[in-house]
Structure 1
Amino acid sequence: MRRPTLAIPACALFFSSLILLAGCDDPKKSGTASSAAATTAAMPAEPPPPPKPKSMPDLIVDPMGPYLNGQRVDMTQEGAAAKIAKIIKELPIEGKPVTVIAEKKAKTPHVAIVVSELGLAGAPKVLIKTDGRDDLPKEITVTPDSRVSSPPGCSVSTIVMKDLSTAVWPFKGGLGKRHRKGFAGPDLSHTAEQLKKDLAACDSTMAFFSGDDTIGWEMTYNLAGTVLTSDEKKKIDTLVIPRESPVAGRPVTLGKKE
């Protein structure tokens, strides 16, 4: 006896084939897509910038570079100067003097650019605190180079050079005096003698100091302190660190180089 044949509707066969086709997708591709989506979802978004401070935050320059308002600036990265400028523009300077803590092992150009940008943002003076030599001031007040105009040509300029010698020459450029390094660094004793002579011979109330880009801040700071202690008449009221390290004997350039 024949069993009755079961009739399957055509529409059922059609949908069954769709299910089979869907089940034949490459599991590797599906897994890769899911993994990529999960990775994208897991990537953290960039943290939002900190809110504008209502009071002046700590401004520090240490051996790693500037640390401003809780933000580290990597000076080896392209655009580091622009990042410094952006952070400083958010500070509540309001035309008032600003304090910077510069550690001894910080780099001179890092301190110089922070001071310059503070001036561009409105700071008339910058108080720099550094633990320097015992016979020199523990803090100095400098004027950002962006706040200086038309210095007298005879204004004293001095620098610690790459080989740790020092040079003293007039702001406008010209013949100067160079002193070889001492036993443990720059010969500040002989440099001070020259500074006293040059400061006394010029009526300017401005003086300029700097250090080669390779020089640690401690040596540059000690040179600045030597300028102040060599000013016997106490007439220097504008002590300036140029943004760009000058070349001994040549005219000193203020502000950014074009």
Structure 2
Amino acid sequence: MRASCLRSGVLPRFAAVAGLTLAAAACESAPKPPEPGPAAAAAPVAEAPAEPPKPKGMPELLVDSMGPYLGGQRVDLSQKDGAEKLSKVIRALPIEGKPVTLLAEKKAKPSAVAAVVTELGAAGAPTVLIKTDGRDDLPKEITVVPEGRVSKPPACAVSAMVLKDLATAIWPFGGGMGKRQRKGLAGPDLSHTGEQLTKDIAACSASVAFFSADDEVPWEMAHNLAGTILGSDAKKKLATLVLLRAAPVAGRPVQLGGG
């Protein structure tokens, strides 16, 4: 009877010990999780996109009523990043210090044409040949110098612009009394404007002249004014015609640099 009691008391304890031993053995034999590799420790860093390669030949450069359209890329200058995008697109052009041709439609905004010319100059273009289908009695092609390539012109240098009401204004670069000519029947009165330009160009030793237009008038008016300036240079002493980046205030000193 006693032996039976001993056996009955020992068996449960033996079973418990055996269970613990098996559990420990199972834990020791379980495979360990893999160590994290270098890829898990640090995610790969994305590289910045490379600059687009420059085209081998100069693509067509156009400014129309919607703005610049350069090499198939539309630039909306009304957007917050418009000026930055324009600069980026032009920097990618193969200018290489050579003159550039720009097509400007009649209804383009003068500010858009001026912005493109200014950026072309900043990218290395010494001059820009602007082609516009303007009046038949005026040049359809004019060569302009970007504003950034001109510094310290004589104060008497001729400055001219087409105003919002299609009148024209002529005054010295350094500021002073201007001459205003009221609009004609179908636009600026370029005949009387030309007569005054001839006098003012002859009265100054400067070989540079400046022109612009209010942004409410179409580019065609500015182009025709530029042609009138060149045609009014009787002695052909003007070597540089500058399209101003920003429309100035008639009679006040002209500020270079977009001011």
Is the structural similarity TM-score above 0.5? yes
Q: Residues 147-170 of structure 1, C-alpha deviation per residue, up to 9 Å, x if partnerless?
A: 001111000000000011000000
Residue in structure 2 matched with residue 164 of structure 1 by the alignment: 166
Q: Is the 8 A contact 1:204 1:236 kept in 2?
A: yes
Q: Is the 8 A contact 2:183 2:189 kept in 1?
A: yes
**Cα separation, 1, equivalents of 2:82 and 2:189:** 33
Residue in structure 2 matched with residue 199 of structure 1 by the alignment: 201
Residue in structure 2 matched with residue 134 of structure 1 by the alignment: 136
**Which residue identity does 1:159 align to in structure 2?**
M
**Which residue identity does 1:125 align to in structure 2?**
T
* Alignment gaps of 5+ in structure 1: 1-47
SS class of match (2:87):
helix
Moved >4 Å (runs of 4+):
none
Question: Is 1:125 aligned with 2:127?
Answer: yes
2:176 to 174, 177, 180: 174
* Alignment gaps of 5+ in structure 2: 1-49
Residue in structure 2 matched with residue 155 of structure 1 by the alignment: 157
2:228 to 226, 236, 241: 226
Q: Residues 95-129 of structure 1, C-alpha deviation per residue, up to 9 Å, x if partnerless?
A: 11000000111110000010001001110000000
Matches within 5 A, 1:1-258: 51-257=53-259
Tell me the TM-score normalized by structure 2.
0.79
- Residue 51 of structure 1 deviates from its aligned partner by 3.8
Larger Rg: 2
- Residue 49 of structure 1 deviates from its aligned partner by 7.8
**Cα separation, 2, equivalents of 1:119 and 1:104:** 22
**Which residue identity does 2:125 align to in structure 1?**
A
Tell me the TM-score normalized by structure 1.
0.80
User: Could you say what the CA RMSD is over the residues aligned between the two structures, in angstroms?
Assistant: 1.4
**Cα separation, 1, equivalents of 2:118 and 2:96:** 16
Q: Is the 8 A contact 1:242 1:253 kept in 2?
A: no
- Residue 256 of structure 1 deviates from its aligned partner by 3.0
**Cα separation, 1, equivalents of 2:61 and 2:99:** 13
